[in-house]
Amino acid sequence: MVKKSIVYTATGDRGMTSLVGGKRVAKNDVRIEAYGTIDELNSFIGLLDNLHNIPSDMKEFLKVIQNKLFNIGAYLATDNQPASAPVSGLDADDIARIEHEIDVLDSELPPMTNFILPGGSRISSLAHVCRTIARRAERRIVELSNTAPVNEQVLIYINRLSDYFFVLARFNNIHNQFEENFWDKDCR
């Protein structure tokens, strides 16, 4: 009989956790915040992907993104890497692919005339949540880069990812005939 693995280890009960390689750090360490935010983003992408009316090609791309985020999370969880250290499973082609997906969706959108309020359909609303979590992840990774080397492709990928979710939100609203809500600075 195979023994079931133990989910709880009790090693983090005092607010410490281990990085890849064994170094112990506080659970609120900037590195933990960075890859924890990536994990949060990945979870919300899973929720977005679970909505019933996501087209299959978008679902496939969301799965690719989720796998790339796992690679980025593993990279960020590993201490003492030079900035030139490659990120397993992430390269310039991945950034180009996001840019291509953004361009394809954006080519079908009207020009923006004002800031857009988050909301609309469920898909669009959740895409906006993913966008804002990606922005927070980017801020955490920038903060980490102030004290430790970070491969620039990580920052570029996360930056493009937030752009992708913004365009996805607009695309979905327009294609499902949800009116875009624009910021009204004089709203009463």
- List, for residues 59-98, the tens digit of each pLDDT value: 999 999 999 999 999 999 888 777 777 888 999 999 999 9
Radius of gyration of the chain (CA): 19
For the four alpha carbons of 172, 48, 51 and 119, in that order, the dihedral sign comes to negative
Average pLDDT, the chain: 88
Q: Which CATH superfamily is domain 23-77+89-175 in?
A: Cobalamin adenosyltransferase-like (1.20.1200.10)
pLDDT in tens, the chain (188 residues): 777 777 666 555 567 566 566 677 666 688 889 999 999 999 999 999 998 788 889 999 999 999 999 999 999 988 877 777 788 899 999 999 999 999 999 999 989 888 988 999 999 999 999 999 999 999 999 999 999 999 999 999 999 999 999 999 999 999 888 888 888 788 78
The three-point CA angle 46-154-125 to 5° equals 35
**pTM score:** 0.88
